[in-house]
Amino acid sequence: MATAQPATSAAPPEAVGPAHVGVVSFLAARAAPTGGFWIALAGGVALARVAERRGARLGFGASAAAMLETVAIIGPARFGVPLTQALSAPILGRLHARGVGFWPQLAACAAVRLLHNAVTTAFFIWVIAGGLDAYAGTYDAIGRRVGLAVGTSDAIALTLISLLLWAAFASTVQVLVYRHGLRAWPEESDERQHRGTPSAGWWVSVAENATHTPHLRRFDPRAVALSAVVLFVLLLAGTHWALLGAVAAWLAAAWLLSRPDPEPLPAGLVFASVLGIGAFVFGLGGGLGLDTAVRRAIRAGLLVMAATWLRAAAGAAGLREVSRRALGRLRRVPAATEAAEVLDGIDSEGRLADAARNLVARVSEVPKRPRALLDAVLSWVVRESAAFEPAPRRRSRELRAAAADVALVASAAAPFLAIALG
């Protein structure tokens, strides 16, 4: 009688291992209060390696899978922190494979960073800060304290200069680190390292806290995701008190009814407070008045709390399944199929703490000098990528929308009535 063979991941191991490293690095970058760019460099090198060795499609697929896995683990808040490197790493990997020099790589990397930062800055100006006048008004209020008059054109110029300077600096560092990492990567790396158990640092704590126990979900994760999208759209539509109150009430009721995972809540509350305070400062400093500043601050906080509820109510497994199904519907889009295959093989959630401990052990063995630390991190990237075993391929979870799921989505649109009444 034949013995059934275990299912294996369809994605090549040389893509799944680096994608796992991308998850560890990008997850830490999103969780850290500062320094996300530096932390994400390790994951970017690993993803650039995939594109260098296996082509742009698989490189972008591995990059997308790594980002989606971080969303499944901690939700969509602060998604943009490692996004520039997730987008540019496959490009730099392919350019490196073709022998393209430093300056063209720098130009490509800087273009991606400028575009991404311009979009996020525009979102902050018009959605969080309250518009260009309020944004410029805050600059003017600060300038007047030191005897300078800052007009709207001056504020725009200062913002553009800061974006250009950051793009030049960060892109130079990124390209230099990637080129060094790719050149030092062994041609054949198939090491299986024994993971020690050093004392935990902050990175290990983040990884351990990201290992979740399953929760019994009340709602279909597809309904939760769709409801969250509806809330985002409604919140972007305005800041009427009736709308804000209706959304807040809906979120409170949904939180009580959805059997959420409480783990994302503390980080969500902190981020909501930070973004809300920023919106209030820009609104008040920009001359919008106390009422408008408070409403914009509340909206900023509700945007974060809607994202927090999404992760808490859908769960890591639920968001992962939603991502798989979305990628399946987008299979005609280049790299979508590859992203789905890599996502099936990652399943990093239960192995993050081991990876973080392995990094802490490697870094603790070297002198605390920039070059030595960089080489230690890059050595960890190579070994962790090679040592990671792809998860067995799983069947898709069976999802059945019930009447409660339909009611959830329908009720999410109810705050729209507040706009009409307003």
Residue range 260-319, pLDDT digits in tens: 888 888 888 999 999 999 889 888 877 788 898 899 999 999 999 999 999 999 988 889
Least confident interval from 7-21, 132-146, 193-207, 304-318? 193-207
- Burial group, residue 248, by CB count within 10 angstroms (0-12, 13-18, 19+): middle
| Overall size of the chain counted in residues | 422
With respect to residue 56, please indicate whether it lies within any of the assigned structural domains: yes
pLDDT at site 139: 78
Is the pLDDT higher at 51 or at 77?
51
| DSSP 8-state secondary structure symbol assigned to residue 348 | G
- Burial group, residue 216, by CB count within 10 angstroms (0-12, 13-18, 19+): exposed
With respect to residue 264, please indicate whether it lies within any of the assigned structural domains: no
With respect to residue 362, please indicate whether it lies within any of the assigned structural domains: yes
With respect to residue 230, please indicate whether it lies within any of the assigned structural domains: no
Q: What is this structure's pTM? A: 0.85
| Domain with 357 in it | 13-216+315-400
- Checking phi first, is residue 326 left (phi over 0); if not, alpha (psi -120 to 50) or beta? alpha
The C-alpha R_g of the chain, in whole angstroms, comes to 23
pLDDT at site 8: 43
Residue 112 pLDDT > 90: yes
Per-residue model confidence as pLDDT tens digits over 72-95: 888 888 889 999 999 999 999 999
With respect to residue 270, please indicate whether it lies within any of the assigned structural domains: no
Per-residue model confidence as pLDDT tens digits over 224-264: 999 999 999 999 988 889 899 999 999 999 999 988 888 88
With respect to residue 189, please indicate whether it lies within any of the assigned structural domains: yes
Q: Once rounded to an integer, what is the mean pLDDT over residues 20-37? A: 90
Residue 398 pLDDT > 80: no
With respect to residue 336, please indicate whether it lies within any of the assigned structural domains: yes
The number of folded domains in the chain is 1
With respect to residue 238, please indicate whether it lies within any of the assigned structural domains: no
The dihedral built from the CA positions of residue 31, 35, 110 and 131, taken in this order, carries a sign that is: positive
